[in-house]
Amino acid sequence: MTSTQLVEIRGLFPVTNSYIYFSHASAGPLPMTAVQAMAEFGRRRSTEGDVPWSEADVVVEETRKMAADLMVVNPTEVAFTDNTSSGIVLAIGSIDWHSGDNVVLMKDSFPAVTYPFHYLLPDVEKRWVTSSELVQDPDSVSRLVDEHTRCVVLSWVHFLSGARFDIKSIARFCRDRNVFFVVDAIQGLGAVEEDFSQVGADFVVAGAAKWLLGPQGIAVVCINSRTLPRLQPHNLGWLSARWEGFTDVFTMKPPKTDASRYEKGTKNYLGIYGLQESLKLLLGVGMPDVEARVRRLTNLLRSELTKASFEIMTPVKPEQNAGIITCRKPGTKSSALHQKLTQKKMVCALRENWLRISPHFYNTEEEVSRFLEVLVG
């Protein structure tokens, strides 16, 4: 990506006019192209009453293909849902649980991942692994799996530490033992490149409102094509069927056989129209260049923070990190540093008394330098 292209892309993000925004692990700003697409859809709903289903469906399928291209999977494996939690709930309900089953979970996952298992499967044994255990010993998951393990559920990138895990090896391990593998990808998808067709997880779920730079209330879920026939009916509705028009609504239609069958009713068209533009931007730049930019900025942050004697939680090895740098200054309250940054309109997240800094590809080295001047100086 050239400097001219970077300037043009930054023009799509008005947030850069007022803030240094390094909090994409919390919420990614919408590019103006997404705002305009959503506004136009809303305008048409207001002035025309409706956008024809056939026209909106074209946008849905285009966006589905873009999401599939970003994940390097087949579009038939991609469905849209509300958020990461909805995707996790979809996985839980689609798996045929048996008496005596257990599930392996990350103890310090974000609650969106663990709460559904707590509420919906109270009688299923929970086995726990921590993110630090996974970083230090990738086999820590395999030692928890036995003949009664039905599912392993992990985050691809940890929401706090920014640690990235070897989901490809874990997926292979689970596949060889006929164990379902569910991946929360929200903190990695859009920040780092990955070929999910090679990963081979059964479910990969990611809300669009962080690194994908998409609207809230829309998420993608990728369901492996070899997994679909194994799933029990769940989250199905009238639009889970194959409709070619709505002139005959009383004849029962056959169900879809791909992942889109889980889009049970009227879709979040507003969210999909916005997500299309966000995906178009990421694909236009290319995930290799997106990842390279993110890595360049996080490496710069790590280097300077290390020199300033900050403690950094995020693993050093490139294969074990993504777009997050989590740090704190020994002897200094992180809340005070966070307030200092906030007063200067420099945005990062305060989590568990750590500063979580998460720049994206449209941020600049100059922004990093200014941010560090306030944080370290």
> How many Cβ atoms sit within 10 Å of the Cβ of residue 298?
24
> 38-283, which class in CATH?
alpha beta
pLDDT one-digit tens code per residue, 136-179: 998 999 999 999 999 999 999 999 999 999 999 999 999 999 99
Distance, in Å, from the CA atom of 59 to the CA atom of 55, rounded to the nearest integer, reads: 7
pTM here? 0.95
Q: Which 3 state secondary structure label does DSSP give 326?
A: strand
Residue 260 has pLDDT above 90, yes or no: yes
What is the pLDDT, as a whole number, of residue 247? Answer: 80
Q: What is the pLDDT of residues 262-316, one digit of tens each?
A: 999 999 999 999 999 999 999 999 999 999 999 999 999 999 999 999 999 999 9
3-22+286-376: CATH topology: Aspartate Aminotransferase, domain 1 (3.90.1150)
AA identity, residue 1: M
Instruction: Indicate the pLDDT class of residue 243, thresholds 50, 70 and 90.
Output: confident
Say whether 38-283 and 3-22+286-376 share the same fold. no
Q: Say if residue 245's pLDDT is above 80.
A: no
- For residue 98, give both structure tokens: 């048996």
Stretch 321-330: mean pLDDT: 97
Count the helix, strand and coil residues of the chain and give each as a percent rounded to the nearest 5.
45, 15, 40
Instruction: Evaluate the CA torsion angle 131, 133, 136, 140 in order and state its sign.
Output: negative
Mean pLDDT value across residues 109-137: 96
Question: Under a CB-based contact definition with an 8 Å cutoff, are residues 151 and 180 in contact?
Answer: yes
Query: Exposed, middle or buried by CB within 10 Å (0-12, 13-18, 19+), for 15?
Result: middle
Domain boundaries, the chain: 3-22+286-376, 38-283
pLDDT digits (tens, 9 = 90+) for 347-371: 999 999 999 999 999 999 999 999 9
Task: Give per-residue pLDDT as tens, 91-115.
Answer: 999 999 999 999 999 999 999 999 9
Tell me what pLDDT residue 377 has.
Answer: 80
pLDDT of residue 123: 96
Q: How high is the pLDDT of residue 191?
A: 98
Q: Enter the tokens of residue 273.
A: 């129209």
What stretch of H or E contains 301? helix 287-307
- If you average pLDDT over residues 190-206, what whole number do you get? 97
Q: What is the DSSP string of 132-184?
A: HHHHH-GGGTGGG--TTEEEEEEESB-TTT-BB--HHHHHHHHHHTT-EEEEE
